[in-house]
Amino acid sequence: MDANTKLSIIKTLSDLNKNGITFIYITHDIGTLKYFEGRIAVMYKGELVEVGNLKESLDNPLHPYLKLLLNKDDYNINENKSGVLESEDNINSNNFRACVFYFRCKYAANKCKVEKPLLKIHQSRFVACHLFNDYQ
């Protein structure tokens, strides 16, 4: 879709949103979210990782994946202790119990590799991250 058509659609949706119309907007284009108000649900590999107020989440993301998407953090790919990049390809997804973002998260701890974090409330938002869930 060309830029003018995209802008026209975004403007129409934004006007509807500001007039109280609720809708689900699914996108990979994070830049278009600035035109909307309401709530955001961020997913990684089919799992919810952060849910909350759109403006709060974009201004101060909690989950490391949203920080990465918004370039709000200096990111290095997680390496194991031998310095070799761990691969998601070696994981059997049927038995995978770790955090879905474990392989890319620079904050990943041993717990992240063996236990999936639950989506829990933190600072008026829900976040699925042991970094926050362990310190409530």
Q: What one-letter code names the amino acid at 12?
A: T
Which pair of structure tokens corresponds to residue 134?
């362990």
pTM greater than the 0.85 cutoff: no
Collapsed DSSP state (helix, strand, coil) of residue 134? coil
Summarize pLDDT for 55-102 with one digit per residue, the tens. 999 999 999 999 999 987 665 555 444 444 455 555 555 556 889 999
The pLDDT, as a whole number, for residue 86 is: 52
The pLDDT, as a whole number, for residue 76 is: 55
How many domains does the chain contain in total?
A: 1
Summarize pLDDT for 3-53 with one digit per residue, the tens. 999 999 999 999 999 999 999 999 999 999 999 999 999 999 999 999 999
Q: Is the pLDDT of residue 135 over 70?
A: no
* DSSP string covering 96-130: --S-TTGGG-TT--HHHHHSPPP-EEETTEEE--H
The domain of 105 spans 38-133
Summarize pLDDT for 110-125 with one digit per residue, the tens. 999 999 999 999 989 9
Domain contains 4: no
Which ranges constitute the DSSP H helices of the chain? 3-18, 54-59, 64-69, 110-114, 130-133
Domain contains 6: no
Domain contains 7: no
Question: Is the distance from CB of 129 to CB of 109 less than 8 angstroms?
Answer: no
* Of 113, 120, 80, nearest in space to 96 by CA: 113
Domain contains 67: yes
